[in-house]
Structure 1
Amino acid sequence: MGKKYAAYVGSYTYIGNSKGITILDVDTENGTMKKKKEVRVNNASYVSASRDGRWLYSIADDGIVSFRILPGGDLERMGKASIRGMRGCHISTDHANQYMFVSGYHDGKVTVLRMNEDGSVGEITDGFYDKGIGSIAERNFRPHISCSRLTPDEKFLCAANLGIDQIKIFRFNRETGRIKLVDAIRCELESAPRFLRFSPDGRFMYVISELKNYLSVYSYDGSDGYPKFELLQTISTVGKKHSNVNAAAALRFGQDGKLVLCSNAGDNSIGIYDRDETTGILTQRVVLPISGEYPKDIGMMPGGKYLYSVNHETSTMTFFTWVPEKNYFYMHTAPLRIDQPNCCALVELPE
């Protein structure tokens, strides 16, 4: 029998009819998803699975909710942990699932939590409130931590602050769970670095900038105990013909790391890029519409044949067939209705 997958879509619950997390059965052969059930979490604006696919974590108004992922894809609620701050917007974990890092858009805070042996979220080990002033009222004026991830060697924590156009670099102490600020990448003024991801081999960091609508490629080297980042490239997230008002949104890798995917609100499109594994440089292949509004999250299904888009403003998910030899994708099934979706975690289910 082939591998089985489930998708978990987090939604706002203050408007619409969503309960919080929608569980979907995933058909990787036909590139479709089907609603299975909903799980109640207040304003599940971001969900993230552990690296081994055993646990799912969700943002909630009052902290982080943890679940055990069952063999059929259902969720068993394990508990809730406070982050002692305003509601988070992003979650990441280390490879061993010993620590969690929560980003705070509203209060500009990074929170580090130690994980319990059963996969639930434990105590806070450290936190950092960023400071500074940007240039554009509200969106790019005050600190907004939108994403924080460890470098692949897990020596440093990188926190993207779209409010002050910086990526703060912290040294991470695995024994204590403490972080110490050691450097900062100062991005272009009013670029708003939103999300960052590292290549599978750990040599390159990719950053999507919300307001300037481009992807940045950095080389990374932490071999001598100090973080070294060098900007190699910036490349537009939109095509030659695009909407006049845009905001770059999601950033993902294809299954094998050879493709990079991004999305654009306003333009309501997905861009697909070839990634040179040796140099890290990106080459744009195509940017096409997603048949919805505000694609907050996107992804490629296992096998690399199908794409999906999580469209916040139209409360839909749309599904596409990727035709690499012709550089285009097309919608192959009807949109799936999900109220106020924000993100999607696609997980290989445990046996």
Structure 2
Amino acid sequence: MQRYEKQSNRIVYVGTYNGGGNDSLYVLSMDKSTGELSAIGAYAEVEMPSFLTVDTERGRVFAVSELQDEAGKEGGEVASYAVEPETGALRYIGKQPSFGASPCHLVTDREGKRLVVANYTSGSVSLYPISEDGSIGPLADRKQHEGHSVRSDRQEAAHAHCTVLKDSRIFVADLGMDKIMIYNIQENGEKPALVLHGEVQVHAGAGPRHIAFHSELPYAYVINELDSTITAFAYSQEAGTLREIQTVSALPDGFAGESYCADIHIGVSGDYLYGSNRGHDSIAVYRIDRTNGKLTLIQHEPTGGAWPRNFAVTPDGKFVLAANQNSDSIVTLAVNENTGRLEPTGHELRIPKPVCIRFFE
């Protein structure tokens, strides 16, 4: 494991669709001033770690293993690593079955004691305790979503796609049902449970995929994979509810090609929102109206590669890293802090099938 200079560089973890005993989880060093990336480590314990979540405070990385089945049983796995803070190196701790096919997203609670996992193909959500040493305990609870929507090719059944923590509640976007399911984690001693708090209907055929909550204002944004739109919601912290206020296209006017939305993030300033398009291979940039939460399109910036399944805004807000799954590349884009616009930097790192980017900071 190569060392990195903490003052001038930051650690980046990358999940991929690699497997078969090959390196699949990568550790990168990123130059804070230029955005240039270099690979400094790689690990092969987890097959297809397509989504990661990082608990920086406790020095943990959690990963899904997006498998349809494992050892003859339906379902993938979830795994944990300990972080060596001086180098970013990882030490594999262990794994648990996800009790659902194709786990694709996961999140921890604020105390680092609970882990919630979305199983895409099964349309289910699994809850686990996390031990003091970072190991994932046995399954505590599992909720099976039931339903479908109008697209028979993609919405024939429930497909849980993301798990997002906001104000102690878990928000789950279900692409198959066109719904956002909202859960509370109820503490029952050693065995916590997921308790349904409510649900929000998204327009038919949308295919809600990922959710971004504004850090300061009462707004949430859902990127819809199937019809390439972004829906803005007013969020009530007290009630734990979402109310739709606007839906906009994520694609340019007149675009007639095949494209599917993927990831969504709000910039560090809170003034701009970003969403990725797979097919159009771009990141759409919007200005957020702080008075009402509505979006105004600013630009579509090419990601410099194919199929940007995931991207990340650096903690200082200066760069966006785009994971181009089908061109095996991570491209660094600069953020114009005055306008929110994205600009090429010329920096690109070759990584096989990158599909998730997370920072340790």
User: TM-score w.r.t. structure 2 length?
Assistant: 0.88
The residue that corresponds to 2:174 in the other structure is: 161
Query: Are the equivalent residues in 2 in contact too, given 1:115–1:123 (CA < 8 A)?
Result: no
SS in 1 for 2:140: strand
| Alpha carbons 1:8, 1:344 under 8 Å: kept | yes
The Cα shift of 1:6 comes to 0.9
Structure 2 residue identity aligned to 1:323: N
Q: Does 1:125 align with 2:140?
A: yes
Given that 1:254 and 1:299 are in contact with CA atoms closer than 8 Å, whether structure 2 keeps it comes out as no
Q: 2: CA distance between counterparts of 1:314 and 1:339?
A: 8
Q: How does 1:49-64 map to 2 (within 5 A)?
A: 49-50=54-55, 52=57, 54-60=59-65, 61=67, 62-64=76-78
Q: Is the 8 A contact 2:214 2:270 kept in 1?
A: yes
Contact 2:36 2:348 (8 Å CA) reproduced: no
Seen in structure 2, the aligned counterparts of structure 1 residues 203 and 327 have a Cα distance that, compared at 3 Å, is closer
- Residue type of the partner of 1:37? G
Change (3 A) 1:149 1:304: closer
Note the alpha carbon deviations across 1:84-128, whole angstroms, 9 max, x for none: 232310011111111111001011110011111122212322111
| Cα distance in 2, alignment partners of residues 222 and 323 from structure 1 | 31
Find the residue that maps to 1:19 and give its secondary structure: coil
Name the residue aligned to 1:212: 227
Are residues 100 and 213 of structure 1, via their aligned partners in 2, closer, same or farther at CA, if it must alter by over 3 Å?
same
- With 61-70 and 233-242 compared, the bigger mean Cα shift is at 233-242
Separation in structure 2 between the aligned mates of residue 104 and residue 318 of structure 1, nearest angstrom: 28
**Residue 29 of structure 2: aligned partner:** 25
Give unpaired runs (5+ residues) of structure 1: none
- Mapped contact 1:22–1:38 kept (Cα < 8 A): yes
User: Which residue number corresponds to residue 262 of structure 2?
Assistant: 249
Query: Which deviates the most, 189-198 or 234-243?
Result: 234-243
Q: Distance in 1 between matches of 2:8 and 2:135?
A: 25
Cα distance in structure 2, aligned partners of 1:321 and 1:192: 30
**Conserved? CA contact 1:208–1:250, under 8 Å:** yes
Q: Work out which of the residue numbers 52, 69, 73 in structure 1 matches 2:83.
A: 69
Counterpart of 1:35 in structure 2 is 39
Shift of 1:80: 1.3
Distance 1:122 1:72 in 2: 27
Residue 32 of structure 1, CA deviation: 1.3
Tell me the amino acid that sits aligned with residue 34 of structure 1: S
Q: Distance between the aligned counterparts of 1:325 and 1:252, measured in 2? A: 18
Higher RCO structure, 1 or 2 (CA under 8 Å, sep 6+):
1
User: CA 1:18–1:138 in structure 2 vs 1: closer, same or farther (change >3 Å)?
Assistant: farther
1:243 shift after superposition: 4.8
Q: Give the match for residue 299 of structure 2.
A: 286
The alpha-carbon deviation at position 53 of structure 1 amounts to: 6.2
Distance in 2 (alpha carbons) for counterparts of 1:203 and 1:327: 21
Paired position in structure 2 for 1:344: 357
1:12 Cα deviation from its structure 2 partner: 1.4
Query: Cα offset for 1:257?
Result: 2.8
Partner residue in 1 for 2:72: none
In 2: Cα distance, 1:183 partner to 1:38 partner: 41
**Counterpart residue identity of residue 2, structure 1:** Q
1:321 corresponds in structure 2 to 334
| Residue 307 (str. 1) matches residue 320 (str. 2) | yes
Distance 1:173 1:202 in 2: 26
Aligned to 1:173: 186
In 2, the alpha carbon distance for the partners of 1:99 and 1:259 equals 31
Displacement of 1:179 in angstroms is 1.6
- On the 8 A contact 2:98/2:119 being kept in 1, the answer is no
1:240 to 236, 253, 269: 253
Is the Cα contact below 8 Å between 2:12 and 2:28 reproduced in 1?
A: yes
Q: Is the 8 A contact 2:328 2:350 kept in 1?
A: yes
Q: Which residue of 2 aligns with 1:258?
A: 271
Opposite residue 227 of structure 1, the aligned amino acid is: G
Deviation for aligned residue 1:135: 2.5
Asked whether the equivalents of residues 160 and 168 of structure 1 are also in contact (C-alpha less than 8 Å), the reply is yes
The answer to whether the Cα contact below 8 Å between 2:218 and 2:237 also exists between their aligned partners in 1 is no
Residue of structure 2 in register with 1:196 after alignment? 211
